[in-house]
Chains A and B, each alone.
Chain A
Amino acid sequence: MKLHEYTISQLHDLISKREISVPELTRYMLDRIESLDSKLECYITVTEKQALEQAEKVQKMIDQGTITSPLAGIPMGIKDNICTRGIPTTCASKMLSNFVPPYDAHVVKKLYDNGAVLLGKLNMDEFAMGSSTESSHFKKTKNPWDTERVPGGSSGGSAAAVAAGEAIYALGSDTGGSIRQPASFCGCVGLKPTYGLVSRFGLVAYASSLDQIGPLTKTVTDCALVLNAIAGHDPMDLTSSRRQHPDYTKALVNDVKGLKIGLPREFIDDSVQKDIRDAVLNAVKVFSDLGAQCEEISIPIMEYVVPTYYIIALAEASSNLARYDGVKFGYRAANPKDMLDFCMRSRSEGFGTEVKRRILLGTYVLSSGYYDAYYKKALKARTIITREFNKAFEKYDIIIGPVSPTTAYRIGEKINDPVQMYMEDIFTVPVNIAGLPAISIPCGFDSQSMPIGLQIIGKRFDETTIIRAAYTFEQNTDFHKARPSLNE
C-alpha cells in the first residue's frame, strides 16, 4: 500500500513505530500534490514551507513525548473559507484573492494543537455557494473517479483531495450539503456535525444559522478522530454549545442490533437515480441482516425544504457578504467616480455570477413588502420541518437515505440551470434546517462506476449513533476500500 492510502490510525502507528518520520510523510504528500494537482486542481494554495516546518516541529514533539494526539504529524488540507493566519484565505473568490487573515479559525488552532500538518487550502465553490465547485474563481476541481465530472460542492477540493490521496484528511464546511454531497460524489466519508458542536469562529460566513465545519476522511474511524479534535465550545462563538461532547471513538462499535432506522419514502421516489435507490435499499438490507429494524416512514414537509433553505440561507448570506465593499480588505475597483460607484463596482467586479445571484435573491426576500411573505414564512416553515424530524426521531434512532438524487455529473452539464441544481439539495438541506448531524458514507457505485453515498441522519448531538451505524456498515461492506484509478 502506498503512504497516501493509509488511514490516520495506520499512519499514526507507522510514525509511533518510527517506520516513517513526519517530515518524510509530509514530503511524500507534497510530491504527490505536485504530480497530481495540475490534473485534479484540488488546491488553491499549497503551503509547502509551512508544512515542512510544522512537520519538523511535530516530529520533535513526538520524539520528546510532548504530544500524543492520534492526529500528530498527519498531513491534511483545509477548505479555503476557513481562516488560516498568514496564509491566503480566498473563499475561491476574486473578492478575497489577496486576503491574508491575521488570525486562525478556532478549528485550525485545535488541529495545530493536535500536531496537524497543513498541506494547503482547498478549492471550493465561491463563498461556499454551489454544489459542484464549478463557480470557483480560480479553477474547476475534477472528480478523481472521472476527471470529466464534477467532484460535487461546495467542498469539492476537500473531497477530491481525500479521495485522490492529496491529503490524508480534510476540513470542509456544510451549509446545505457541502460536505456530504462532495463526499458522496467522490466516494469518501463526510460528516456535518450538529449545529453548535463545532465553532464557526474563523469560518467565513455564508449562512450563519446553517453553517458547520466538518471532516472529510477515507474511513469512519478517521472521521471520529478528527471530530474529537475539532468539537467543543468556543467562547468566541456564542452559537457554539457548552455541552461536554463524548469521545467519538467510543462509538466505533460494530453493532446495530435493535437500532430503529427510518427510511422516508420521499427519499426514494422516482426523482432519485435508479442505481442510487438500489444502493440505498441494499444498505437497508445490510442493516436489517445485522439486526436493525428498518421501516419506511413519511416526512411530508419535504415538499418545502428546498425553498425554505434557500430563502433563509440567501437572506443571511446577503447580509454576511455586505462587508465586502472594497473599503477595508479584499478587491477594490480602480478609479471610482464616487462612494456609490466605488462600492457597486468593487462588488460587481469582485463577486462571481452565482454569488451575485444569491445576494440579490437574499436581499429581495428581506426587503420591505416581501419580508413577511418570504423570510418570516420560511422561519415558520423551519420550525415545522424541525418539528417533523424530531417527531420521527421519537420513534427512530436514525434516518437514512441518499445524499443526492444523482451521482457526479459532467462538468458544465448543470451550471446553466441553477434552480435545477438547487433542487438537487433536497436530501441534504433539511438536515441543516433542523440543525441535525449527518454523515455520508460510500454505499455503492452507479453504472458508470461513479460513487454513491448513503446519508445517515441522527438526533441533535447524537453523532455517536450515526457514527456507530456508519462504522458498522463500513465493517460489513467493501465500498470504502475502492480507490479511484487516476490512471497512475
Chain B
Amino acid sequence: MEYEAVIGLEVHAELSTKSKIFCSCTTEFGGQPNTHCCPICLGMPGTLPVLNRKAVEYAIKAGLATNCTISLFTKQDRKNYFYPDLPKGYQISQYDLPLCKDGYVEIETENGKKKIRINRIHIEEDAGKLVHSEHGNYSFVDYNRTGVPLIEIVSEPDISSAAEAKAYLEKLKAILQFIGVSDCKMEEGSLRADVNISVRPKGSKQLGERTEMKNLNSFRAVYRAIEAEVARQIEVIKSGGVIHRETRRWDDARGESYPMRSKEDAQDYRYFPEPDLPPLIIKKELIERLKNELPELPDTRKQRYISEYGLPEYDAGVLTSSKELSDFFDEAAKVSTNVKAVSNWVMGDMLRILNERNLEVSQVPFPPAYLAKLVALLDKGVINGPTAKKVFEEMFDTGKDPETIVKEQGLEVLNDESLLLQVVEKVIQENPNSVADYKKGKKKAIGFLVGQAMKATKGKANPQLINELLIKKLEG
C-alpha cells in the first residue's frame, strides 16, 4: 500500500512597518528587553488599541500579490487565552471576516508548475518572548515583540511533499520581500511556519488525521520535519496504530519530534468581535492604489528574464528568489552586452562569496555596473578567467572599479607574442621530459607545459596563445 502526504502551512510574517500595530512603539528587532514598550502594548488598565493604517495596507498588498480577494468589510476579534507573554490575556486577531481570502501561489515541482491555494490572510498582533532560566523555576518575559503586526497566511492542504513545502515557503518569502512588506528572516523570527501533516492511501479522497508541527526555525527544519513526520505517520499506520490529532515539537538537533499538547484538549478561544476597534470598510480606490504601488512580482520578473534575456528557467528562478539579488542582477544586466555571463557570475561566484563572507546583497561594496565591467574585460580578453576571479574577490575587498584594479596591479593578459615566445622557449628548454612525452604522442602533456608557462607569467599570459605558440614550436 502506498501512501501520500497531505500538507498545509500556517505562515506568520512580521510586517516591516515602523511602528507596532496598535501603538507607536518601534518594531525594531533586538534592543534591551522591555525597552520597546508602552502602556498600550503592555495592556495596562484603561489603555485602548489604535490601528496602524500602514499595517492594513501592507496586509492588503500581501493579499494582492498572492491573488487573494480583498474583503471590503472586515473586522478584528479577540482571541482569549492566558499566557505570560500575552499582556492583555487576549490577542487581537481576525476570526470569521479575514482581510484577504482565496488566493494562490505558484511553485515549481519536478512535475512542472503547481498552484498552492491560500485560504486566507489576516492581520493580528504578535506576543512577547519568554526566556526560561536554566536553573530555578522562573522565566523572564520580554514584551518588545508584543504588538508587532503580523499577517497569518493559511494555505489549503495542497502541498504533497517536503520539497513542495520548501518551494512554497521560498516563493512566499520572495513575494513578501519583493513587495516590501516583510523582510522574512526566519532566524530573526520575522517569518515563522507551522505545518499540518496527514497521510492517506495514495489516490484516496479522504483526509487522514493530522498533526501540527511547531518550532521550525529554518527552511531546512521545515523540510526535515515534514519528511520525518510523514515517515512516522506511515510507520504508525502500517503497524496498525492510529494517528492522534496532536501538536508536536520538532527538535532539529535530534532530527525528531515529540508531542506537545493534544489538539483534542484544544483551547476554547471564546472569539468575539473586538469592541474597541470599529470594523473596517476597505474602499475600492484604496485597493486600486495599492495594486498600482506593487512592484514587478518574482514570477513576472522571472518570465521577463526568460523572454527578454533568454535565460534558462532555472537561472531565472535562482535570480528572482530574492528581490535584492534580482535588483542587483537587473542593474548589471542593463549595462551589459553579455547578460548570460552576468547571470552566471551572480549565481556562481557572487552567491559563493556572499555566503563565505556572510554578507547580504545590500552589503556588496560596489555597484552592479562594476560586475558588467568585469564581464566586459573578460569578454574583450583584457584579462583571463583566473584573473577575473581574483579581481572579483578584490572588488569585494576594496569596492574598487575592476578596470582600476586591473590597471593598478598590471593584471592585463599578456598577448605580446614576442614576449610569450621567449617564455615558451624557456619552458620547452626546462621541461625536456614533457616535451619528449608530447613528441611521443602524448598530446595531453601540453597541458603541463601550458601550466608552466602560466606560472612563469604569474598567470597573466593568454593561455590560448601560449597553447598555440607551444604547439607551433613543438611541431616545428
Interface residue ranges, A against B (CB under 8 Å): 81-83, 89, 91, 96, 99, 101-103, 105, 200-205, 207-209, 235-239, 315-316, 318-319, 321-325, 327-329, 338-339, 343, 363, 366-368, 371, 375
Contact = CB atoms under 8 A, between A and B. Distances in A.
A325 B39 contact: no
Contacts of B278: 238-239
A357 to B, nearest CB: 18
B90 interface: yes
Given A319-B272, A343-B82, A328 B48 contact: no
Contacts of A367: 268, 270
Interface in B40-56: 42-51
Given A322-B89, A325-B84, A366-B270, 19 more contacts: A83-B45, A83-B46, A91-B45, A103-B46, A103-B47, A205-B276, A207-B275, A208-B275, A209-B275, A237-B48, A238-B51, A238-B276, A315-B272, A316-B275, A319-B80, A319-B270, A327-B87, A328-B42, A371-B272
B277 interface: yes
Interface residue SS majority, chain B = loop
B396 to A, nearest CB: 48
30 contacts: A83-B46, A89-B45, A89-B46, A99-B45, A101-B44, A103-B46, A105-B46, A200-B46, A201-B48, A204-B45, A207-B275, A208-B276, A238-B276, A238-B278, A239-B275, A318-B80, A319-B78, A319-B89, A319-B270, A322-B80, A322-B90, A323-B45, A323-B88, A327-B141, A328-B44, A328-B87, A338-B137, A343-B82, A366-B270, A371-B272
Which of B46, B49, B50, B143 neighbours the largest number of chain A CB atoms within 10 Å of its CB?
Answer: B46
B84 A238 contact: no
A204 B47 CA distance: 8
Interface of B: 39, 42-51, 78, 80, 82, 84, 87-90, 137, 141, 143, 268, 270, 272, 275-278
Given A319-B89, A323-B88, A325-B89, A201 B46 contact: yes
B39 A236 contact: no
A309 B47 CA distance: 23
A81 B45 CA distance: 9
Given A209-B275, A239-B278, A316-B275, A204 B46 contact: yes
Contacts of B39: 101-103
Nearest to B51: A238
Interface residue SS majority, chain A = loop
A102 B47 CA distance: 11
- Which 10 residue pairs across A and B have the least CB separation, nearest first? A322-B89, A208-B275, A366-B270, A209-B275, A204-B45, A202-B46, A368-B268, A83-B46, A323-B43, A204-B46
A338 B82 CA distance: 14
A209 B47 CA distance: 14
Contacts of A371: 270, 272
A91 B43 CA distance: 16
B46 A203 contact: yes
B90 A96 contact: no
A375 B272 contact: yes
A99 B44 CA distance: 10
Nearest to A205: B46
B261 to A, nearest CB: 13
Contact of A339 (B42, B84, B90): B84
Contacts of B143: 328
A325 B82 contact: yes
A253 B270 CA distance: 49
A56 B47 CA distance: 31
Given A102-B39, A319-B89, A236 B48 contact: yes
A342 to B, nearest CB: 9
A103 B276 CA distance: 19
B84 A327 contact: yes
A372 B282 CA distance: 28
A340 to B, nearest CB: 9
Nearest to A315: B272
A91 B46 CA distance: 11
Contacts of A316: 272, 275
Contacts of A368: 268, 270
A281 to B, nearest CB: 38
Contacts of B43: 323, 328
A338 B270 CA distance: 24
A238 B89 contact: no
Contacts of A101: 39, 44-46
A325 B80 CA distance: 13
A106 B89 CA distance: 24
A317 to B, nearest CB: 11
Nearest to A105: B46
A323 B90 CA distance: 8
A121 B233 CA distance: 62
A363 B270 contact: yes
A425 B89 CA distance: 29
Contacts of A207: 275
A89 B82 CA distance: 24
Contacts of B45: 83, 89, 91, 96, 99, 101, 204-205, 323, 329
Nearest to A343: B82
A200 B276 CA distance: 10
B203 to A, nearest CB: 36
Contacts of B47: 103, 201-202
Nearest to A339: B84
A363 B44 CA distance: 21
Given A209-B275, A366-B272, A367-B270, A323 B46 contact: no
B131 to A, nearest CB: 14
Contacts of A315: 272
A248 to B, nearest CB: 25
Nearest to A316: B275
Which of A316, A322, A363 neighbours the largest number of chain B CB atoms within 10 Å of its CB?
Answer: A322
A449 B42 CA distance: 49
B35 to A, nearest CB: 15
A314 to B, nearest CB: 12
A441 B42 CA distance: 40
A176 to B, nearest CB: 15
Which of B39, B51, B137, B276 neighbours the largest number of chain A CB atoms within 10 Å of its CB?
Answer: B276
A428 to B, nearest CB: 20
A319 B91 CA distance: 10
Contacts of A103: 39, 44, 46-47
Contacts of B268: 367-368
A123 B272 CA distance: 31
Nearest to B40: A236
Contacts of A329: 44-45
Contacts of B87: 323, 327-328
A33 to B, nearest CB: 25
Contact of A200 (B42, B48, B50, B272): B48
Contacts of B51: 238
Contacts of B90: 319, 322
Which of B48, B143, B277 neighbours the largest number of chain A CB atoms within 10 Å of its CB?
Answer: B48
A344 to B, nearest CB: 9
Contacts of A203: 46
B414 to A, nearest CB: 73
B83 to A, nearest CB: 8
A207 to B, nearest CB: 8
Nearest to B277: A238
Nearest to B80: A319
Contact of B276 (A91, A239, A323, A363): A239
A219 to B, nearest CB: 29
Nearest to B22: A238
Contacts of A208: 275-276
A252 B197 CA distance: 70
B80 A235 contact: no
Nearest to A99: B45
Nearest to B143: A328
Contacts of A239: 48, 275-276, 278
